[in-house]
Chain A
Amino acid sequence: MSSKKIINDFSITIATVNGSGSQTANVTLLRALFKMGIPISGKNLFPSNIQGLPTWYTIRLSKDGFLARRDEQEVVVAINPSSFARDLAAVSSGGVFFYADDIKLPIDRKDISVYPMPIKALAKAANVSPALRDYIANMVYVGVLAQMLGIDPEAIKSALDFHFKGKAQAVDSNFSTIQAGFDWAAQNLVKKDPYWIKQMDGTSGYIMTDGNTAAALGAIYGGVQFAAWYPITPASSLAESLNVYLPQLRKTSEGKQTYAVLQAEDEIAAIGMAVGAGWSGLRAMTSTSGPGISLMTEYAGLAYQAEIPVVVWDVQRIGPSTGLPTRTAQGDLTEVYFLGHGDTQNVILLPGSVQECFEFGWKAFDLAERLQAPVFVLSDLDLGMNQWMTKPFEYPDAPMDRGKILWEADLEKLNNGWSRYKDVDGDGIPYRTVTGNRHPAAAYFTRGTGHDENARYTEDAKPWEANMARLKKKYDTARTLVPKPVISQAKGATIGIIAFGSTEAAVKEAQALLAQEKGPKSDFMRLRALPCTREAQDFIKKHDRLYIVEANRDGQLRQILSAVLPDHANKFRSVAHTDGMPLTAKWVKETILAQENK
């Protein structure tokens, strides 16, 4: 075996049983590594199950800051007998295999280092109640890994302290089991592998959290006043985070609420309540995933047609149908873009990082109220539920934009004359009033049926067509208001890459891999919204060959961009793939190279 040390540049996968409490141990490991200054990412690959099925947690350490998922697993920790054989097979050649020594299964690999761990014995010795013994057992592997790989026990302690919110008893009992694992390994195992973890300075100026928490906090700083939701993986923790942070941030000194959060009876009701609240002047939102989006379709069309601001977060999981409820994808783009029957076009924000989940959390309300339209924010399970290191949240850099809303004094000035659906300013966006406005001219009747400029029912052809043309014009206005793409250019680039959302890490690493292998140099555009802004269109026009990277089967962004810029559609090459796992840089690189070499 190689004697050359490999430091802070490998992946650790921990194979456990779902519901066995391993999540605490895994996140503790992740946080300890972050505390040691090592750029890391952690991905929980879990089944749709409460307890019993195999689950994996994969941590990537990257001194160079590449944080996409990798297929290669240099260090594997096997605690689950039912996945033992495949976990053993998954270890990279030259890698390391830690296993619970109560699993009596053959280990036939000669090309790896193998270390047993007395998980059960050490857990039994721990000074905790029998009920907690299974949970604390997971801490044994944390201790063994710490000793064998070189994780600072103090970093582990601060991770535990964070997890248990400073409760000394919980911290101490877990840490003593970790210490037991650590001591046992020091006395009984001899290091044969080359993998080491060393303190570095790669995480200062970063925080670690998940996209759903960030989205909820962003919404709170955006002044969310009403949120209705229905439980669904992987979106539930977004609404639950609202319930955690709203009471801390948005109660008056007398303890009164400036908001209401309601768990609805289903997703139709959830968006219905949000549409009702948005219509009556509240900053309103709902959060869901693909199946919920399907149910929300009719309401999305109503909000588009009757011009009602509402924010809808879609934390995507893989579909169609129930699909794989706990696996990630970017497969709802086409559905959401056209959501609603008849001619509909929706505004979509595409956050690419946890920090951006926060930013779009507040921006979405400004856009929805400015445009009087539903605004969808497409996150995904990987971004929403996994822990990411990210730049700290930034306080909103713009005042709230409440849009074109008329109150009593405004109507007085207008001498009572206003029309709900008239394009006064030439941007396609009309003025609106909301309930509670006491001015006698304030009220109007809202409907999803045909209406004229004064919101009166009509089935006449001309007002119908005029209204639909105005809605299209409004969508063009949206083009100028949505977040512009993030573009990075390389000298001598011959190709362009387009991606959105959580795939950025894989794309950036793929660019570096292409450079290493003397492949083509590339410019990169991360699209942050639809409709496609002028800047995004210019990027497309400037390049002769564009690879569109996305985690779905059909290349949905490619389809949409082909429709937006049909004259440029022949430049697009699809790098689309979905199996429920976050894309890897290696796959992106190889798929691009294969098409380049054709």
Chain B
Amino acid sequence: MTTPAVVAGQTNKAGLTKNDYRGLPSTLCQGCGHNSIASQIIAACYELDVIPEEVVKFSGIGCSSKSPTYFLNRSFGFNGLHGRMSNLATGAIFADTSVHAIGISGDGDTASIGMGGFKHMVRRNAPIVYIVENNGVYGLTKGQFSATAEVGLNLKHQGTNQYMPVDICMEALAANATFVARSFAGDAKQVKELIKAAFSHHGIAVLDIISPCVTFNNQENAFHSYTWGKDHEAPLHEIMYTPKLAEIILDGEFPEGAVREVTMHDGSTVVLKKLEKDYDPTSRAKAFQMIEEAQKNNWMVTGLIYIDTEKPALTDVYNLVDKPLNRLEQADLRPAPETIKKINSLMF
């Protein structure tokens, strides 16, 4: 399904123009995959009619972690510590659960220094869109191997990588993620649709987006390069996100039997159009199997790999008051004076 092209000055249902979703000019390299992801975040938020003040952005340290400044200038953002986006965001999302969280991390940030935190955030099902801009290399420190680099990759000053790569989707699945997807920065449409679906997911939505580094890791035969990605991308489905407002009629657009709908927490749907494989993204076992098979065959499988819309999100577990915690006042937070006597009496 295509969204009509945005006309300059045109507004969405939130009454905002696409410019209201932009950020500062990128300081990343020209042609960096991260820039096109930032563009798709802008487009997705515009199309979702998101109010920028109701989004909060997080990142760690690295090239990817710089990118939250390149979109949603009217949203709060926090560029924290290397590998620690997970815990920073986990604490912050308790303040106002009506605010959507989006985190941008990299393969070094998530799969090396931040692996522990990442997996714990996933297992807690913290409500956040967690994007890994995965290029297999440390860009900001000028071209060292990351933990997602494939065996045998040659880098100018590093030699040949000898170690097995971390598969972020596999790690997310193993940690019981409730939304796991992979995409390729060069596939703008799929990136956008997956981001839209991720925004509607209530829980952790892990998006591993292969995002080529044009400066340090873009050899034609490298896994995280444009050429390789274009040649090896095998989409699981054609994916389309439908907002809960039913202005898009699905019936008749896809032939019966080739379409699978997933209803999201907020009532919106993700529609998956089958390609050549009969793939069920609600089966964790099949997701593992599919990734395993893809690894063996040297495929870069993209699309929605796994989704579970039933598990409660981290903040649901706490039975919090309806009012945002950060708007509570002394009367809500300090026990009444008469309680102190009782507390003293509880001591010996």
Contacts and interface: CB of A to CB of B under 8 A. Distances in A.
A217 B327 CA distance: 22
B151 interface: no
B116 interface: yes
B335 A220 contact: yes
A280 B92 contact: yes
A6 to B, nearest CB: 26
Contacts of A252: 321
Given A223-B333, A448-B80, A276 B319 contact: no
Contact of B81 (A34, A272, A433, A440): A272
B87 A269 contact: yes
A399 B330 contact: yes
Given A209-B348, A269-B117, A269-B120, A435 B92 contact: yes
Contacts of B53: 437-440, 442-443
Contact of B79 (A273, A284, A433, A449): A449
B303 interface: no
B258 interface: no
B77 A446 contact: yes
A189 B195 CA distance: 82
B77 A445 contact: yes
A245 B340 CA distance: 12
B256 interface: no
B333 A225 contact: yes
B340 A395 contact: yes
A279 to B, nearest CB: 6
Interface in A428-487: 433-440, 442-449, 457
A95 B339 CA distance: 46
B118 to A, nearest CB: 10
A258 B343 contact: no
B68 interface: yes
A259 B328 CA distance: 10
A436 B51 CA distance: 11
Interface in A35-68: none
Interface in A268-305: 268-270, 272-284, 298-299, 302
A168 interface: no
Contacts of B334: 221-223, 396, 400
Contact of B88 (A31, A34, A209, A272): A272
B69 interface: yes
Interface of A: 31, 34, 159, 162, 207-209, 213, 217, 220-223, 225-226, 228, 245, 249-250, 252, 255-260, 262, 264-266, 268-270, 272-284, 298-299, 302, 387, 392-396, 399-400, 433-440, 442-449, 457
Given A159-B348, A225-B326, A256-B321, 20 more contacts: A31-B348, A162-B348, A226-B325, A249-B339, A257-B318, A257-B319, A257-B321, A260-B320, A269-B90, A276-B93, A277-B92, A277-B94, A299-B84, A302-B81, A396-B334, A400-B330, A435-B95, A436-B95, A438-B53, A445-B79
18 contacts: A223-B328, A260-B325, A270-B87, A272-B80, A276-B78, A276-B88, A276-B89, A279-B88, A280-B76, A282-B325, A302-B81, A392-B344, A392-B347, A393-B340, A400-B333, A443-B53, A446-B79, A457-B69
